[in-house]
Amino acid sequence: MAGFTGGCLCGAVRYEVSVDPVRMARCHCDDCRKGSGATFATNVFVPAEAFKVTGEFATYESKTDAGNTMTRAFCPKCGSPVFGYSSAGGGVMRAIRAGSIDDASFVKPSIEVFTKRMLACTVVDPSTQKFEEMPPPPPPR
């Protein structure tokens, strides 16, 4: 595949990714639920340097339970959530909202986090590795 494109509903914010995702995850935490407008968020993680965004976007910052700053970027015109990033690990990753990807047919999460907050109506994916809360970050390379 090597890369993909996406953007907000109205097209004012667009992005290009030049590599394949490092990780795909579903997050069931309350912040992701509200920030995504869906019953849970599906995030596609890519290195920040491989993510090129064009157009004006707005951001909203919040604190995570672990004390990191989570920044969520959205289109100020149509309101679509587009991507986010955490100050954890130096902010080197971008979490792209899977719903913003043009052809999202490749999306296949391998992990799920904050499953203790999963809504009863959510269909359980038997193929994913599940964590009740946020798992510890992978060791530095």
Interface residue list for Zn ion (CB under 5 A): 8, 10, 12, 27, 29, 32, 75, 77-78
Q: Give backbone dihedrals phi and psi of 6, rounded to 5 degrees, phi first.
A: -175, -175
Minimal distance, residue 2 CB to Zn ion, in Å: 26
Q: Which is nearer to Zn ion, 21 or 115 (CB)?
A: 115
Nearest to 100 by CA among 125, 122, 129, 78: 78
**Residue 70: both structure tokens together:** 């989570």
Minimal distance, residue 71 CB to Zn ion, in Å: 13
Q: Which is nearer to Zn ion, 19 or 68 (CB)?
A: 68
Minimal distance, residue 29 CB to Zn ion, in Å: 3
Q: Which is nearer to Zn ion, 29 or 44 (CB)?
A: 29
Query: Under a CB-based contact definition with an 8 Å cutoff, are residues 29 and 68 in contact?
Result: no
Minimal distance, residue 87 CB to Zn ion, in Å: 15
Query: Under a CB-based contact definition with an 8 Å cutoff, are residues 2 and 16 in contact?
Result: no
Q: Which is nearer to Zn ion, 75 or 118 (CB)?
A: 75
User: Residues 6 or more apart from 99 whose CB is under 8 A from it?
Assistant: 36, 38, 42, 80, 81
